[in-house]
Amino acid sequence: MTKTLNLDDLPHTAGLNECYCHPLVSHILFTDGAKYVADQAGAYWLLDAIALAQSDLPAGTMEKFQVWTLRVASRRTATLTCEDGNGRTVFTKSIQYTDFPLPEIVLWLANNVILLPSEY
């Protein structure tokens, strides 16, 4: 199945419509927009990586607001990084292979909710 995702198709609503409980990390929720990305791109693994990384972040870096960026290289490898909202990287993970359809996507985690920046 070819995965398609277009930045223009992402939900552009301010505020939260509905939140879903992450199945592996029950205190992490995700919004309609994050679910849309996961559904369209087959990328629930991305939501998992963000949720599971919360226990891997160094002590003192568990920010209530986090900026998560997935950058996909031409070789279909990727890097997932987390910044504290002030440009300081607090977590980086190399991904050996991905079929994520966009070269880059940014998700936020705010107060334990994964969302698109446009949903804030």
Q: Could you report the average pLDDT of every consecutive run of 10 residues in the chain (120 residues)?
A: 69 67 89 92 96 77 86 96 90 95 95 91
Provide the pLDDT for residue 119.
Answer: 87
Provide the pLDDT for residue 18.
Answer: 80
CB-based contact 80:66 (threshold 8 Å)? no
The CATH T-level fold of domain 19-119 is: Nuclear Transport Factor 2; Chain: A, (3.10.450)
Q: Give the up-direction half-sphere exposure of residue 56: CA atoms within 13 A in the CB hemisphere.
A: 13
Provide the pLDDT for residue 4.
Answer: 73
Provide the pLDDT for residue 61.
Answer: 60
Instruction: Give the C-alpha separation, 16 to 19, whole Å.
Output: 7
CB-based contact 115:18 (threshold 8 Å)? no
Provide the pLDDT for residue 108.
Answer: 96
Q: Could you state, in order of their start, the residue ranges of all structural domains in the chain?
A: 19-119
Question: What pairs with residue 106 in β-bridges?
Answer: 69
Instruction: Give the C-alpha separation, 93 to 70, whole Å.
Output: 9
The predicted-structure confidence for 7-33, as pLDDT tens digits, reads as follows 676 665 555 568 898 988 888 999 999
